[in-house]
Amino acid sequence: MTTHKNLLGGPDPTLLPENEEAYRLLGEESRSPAEVAAAHPTFSLAWAMLADDAFEAGRVIESYAYARTGYHRGLDALRRAGWKGHGPIPWEHRANRGFLRCLAALARAAGEIGEQDEYERCWQFLKDSSEEAYAELKR
């Protein structure tokens, strides 16, 4: 078996663990993001969906709160997965998408409420973590 070493010297990509039960609840059982967040509070995708829904409905403060919750839950999960505060968090890994979507939602809501420093910091964090996520979510 061949192992590939990061020749640039940076940290390896962080891949969050999958939560198949939470995905099943959202998909097969058509449970709401609120129900999934209540059953699986560490599942950032549910928080991202809540943030997006609130933002689209004009409830920016709710969106900000949901996004911040999912963001912090995601940071906790990243740290448990070995992340040291920097390095790639690949968009193509399904389990990372909830955290990355929360980060984008937090940036978007921060911009709407005039938190310019947080707006810029969150977008930069997203770009530094995953260029692909940045391109996909900053539309």
Distance CA 18, CA 15 (A): 9
Predicted structure pTM score: 0.92
Rg (CA), the chain: 15
68 vs 5, which has greater pLDDT?
Answer: 68
pLDDT in tens, 53-77: 999 999 999 999 999 999 999 999 9
Continuous H helices in the chain: 20-26, 33-39, 44-56, 60-80, 97-112, 116-129, 131-137
